[in-house]
């Protein structure tokens, strides 16, 4: 399903720096979301993965170390694939 533009950028100043802020369109979206079985299945898998990550983060002494290591592993794989 192609939605197109879902908001607009507006000139803004943050911390004395000129930037652009994204202002999303109001909810609910038009046309309404169409959740078919395939999309609902993917959402369920994503929620399950987030739950697992949340459970693991409670057991870690420092979640940042885990994320840094995992990110490094993923970057290494990406570099190996691009060569």
Model confidence pLDDT, tens digit, residues 17-47: 899 999 999 888 777 888 899 999 999 999 9
How far is the C-alpha of 17 from the C-alpha of 23, rounded, in Å? 18
**Tokens at residue 21, please?**
């802020």
Position 3 scores a pLDDT of 65
Q: At what angle do helices 37-59 and 63-82 cross, to 10 degrees?
A: 130
Q: What secondary structure letter does DSSP report for 61?
A: S
Phi and psi (nearest 5°) for 27? -100, 155
Q: What secondary structure letter does DSSP report for 35?
A: -
**Tokens at residue 63, please?**
């979640």
């Amino acid at each position: 399903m192609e939605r197109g533009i879902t908001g607009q950028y507006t000139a803004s100043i943050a911390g004395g720096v000129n930037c652009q802020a994204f202002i999303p369109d109001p909810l609910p979206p038009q046309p309404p979301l169409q959740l078919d079985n395939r999309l609902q299945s993917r959402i369920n898998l994503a929620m399950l993965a987030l739950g697992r990550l949340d459970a693991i983060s409670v057991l870690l002494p420092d979640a940042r170390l885990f994320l840094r290591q995992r990110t490094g592993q993923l970057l290494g794989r990406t570099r190996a694939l691009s060569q």
